[in-house]
């Protein structure tokens, strides 16, 4: 732990709230427990956790997507630059220019990729269909060019196909061992299905939830909180 003492780490996000599971619990708290001085710059949540090990610097999250990309990003950059950290981690594509500006010879900037953004853009309803493919390809070129000086952290194994120099830090949930043991006792090992991640229609939540109706011998377990109600149904 001696090498980590006084090493300053700053995580930045303008999209995720300050208690995001991957960012706050899995990364920031783990780094703090390892002896690093950790600060998280993120939109504030109402029920802020009082954590003496991770300092949270709040920024305003604007309701308008484009205002957020401009104003929240600028605010995050100003606050991150003032901290003069040894390590910076950015968690959103809109922060790529911030990462590029923060990168110096004396520090390390990490781009944490926990979405396949190029593919996701093909599903964005707010992007007109005729130009989605062009926008996705243009983003991929921009991302590849501007992240060259950054280290890449990948949340899924298949991301290696697009980012061969990246390092996989898989986005598995923090699971209570007692809860896992209970599920193993109740479910047949051959018919137990486990889903981890956001529970949304786009990610197939309704299909997953319907599997026991197709085969009553199948049990489906969702790990982590449901992000929202789907068509009035609590999945």
Q: Where are the domains of the chain?
A: 2-168, 177-223
**What is the rounded distance in angstroms from the CA atom of residue 37 to the CA atom of residue 22?**
18
**CA-based max dimension of the chain:** 59
Selecting from 3.40.50.720, 3.40.50.2000, 3.20.190.10, 3.20.20.70, what CATH number does the domain 2-168 have? 3.40.50.2000
C-beta of residue 43 within 8 angstroms of C-beta of residue 111: no
**What would the two tokens of residue 142 be?**
């921009």
Task: Give residue 4's pLDDT.
Answer: 62
Task: Give residue 5's pLDDT.
Answer: 64
Task: Give residue 115's pLDDT.
Answer: 87
- Averaged over successive runs of 10 residues, the pLDDT of the chain (235 residues) comes to 75 91 90 94 74 86 84 96 97 96 96 90 85 93 95 94 93 70 62 77 83 87 53 36
Task: Give residue 123's pLDDT.
Answer: 80
Task: Give residue 230's pLDDT.
Answer: 37
Task: Give residue 66's pLDDT.
Answer: 85
Q: Of all helices (H) and strands (E), which one includes residue 10? A: strand 8-12
C-beta of residue 83 within 8 angstroms of C-beta of residue 97: no
Task: Give residue 204's pLDDT.
Answer: 81
């Amino acid at each position: 732990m001696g090498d980590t003492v006084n090493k300053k780490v700053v995580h930045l996000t303008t999209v995720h709230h300050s208690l995001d599971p991957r960012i706050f619990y899995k990364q920031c708290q783990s780094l703090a427990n390892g002896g690093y001085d950790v600060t998280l710059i993120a939109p504030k949540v109402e029920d802020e956790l009082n954590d003496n090990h991770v300092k949270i610097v709040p920024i305003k999250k604007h309701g308008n997507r484009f205002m957020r990309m401009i104003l929240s990003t600028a605010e995050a950059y100003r606050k991150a630059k003032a901290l003069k950290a040894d390590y910076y981690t950015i968690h959103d594509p809109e922060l790529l220019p911030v990462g590029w500006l923060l990168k110096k010879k004396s520090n390390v900037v990490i781009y944490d990729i926990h979405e396949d953004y190029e593919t996701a853009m093909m599903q964005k309803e707010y992007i007109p269909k005729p130009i989605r493919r062009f926008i996705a390809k243009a983003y991929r070129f921009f991302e590849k060019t501007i992240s060259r000086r950054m280290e890449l952290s990948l949340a899924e194994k298949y991301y290696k196909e697009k980012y061969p120099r990246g390092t996989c830090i898989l986005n598995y949930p923090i699971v209570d061992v007692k809860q896992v043991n209970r599920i193993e006792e109740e479910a047949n090992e051959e018919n137990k299905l486990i889903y981890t991640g956001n529970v949304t229609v786009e990610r197939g939540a309704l299909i997953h939830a319907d599997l026991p109706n197709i085969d009553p011998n199948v049990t489906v377990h969702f790990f982590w909180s449901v992000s929202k109600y789907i068509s009035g149904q609590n999945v």
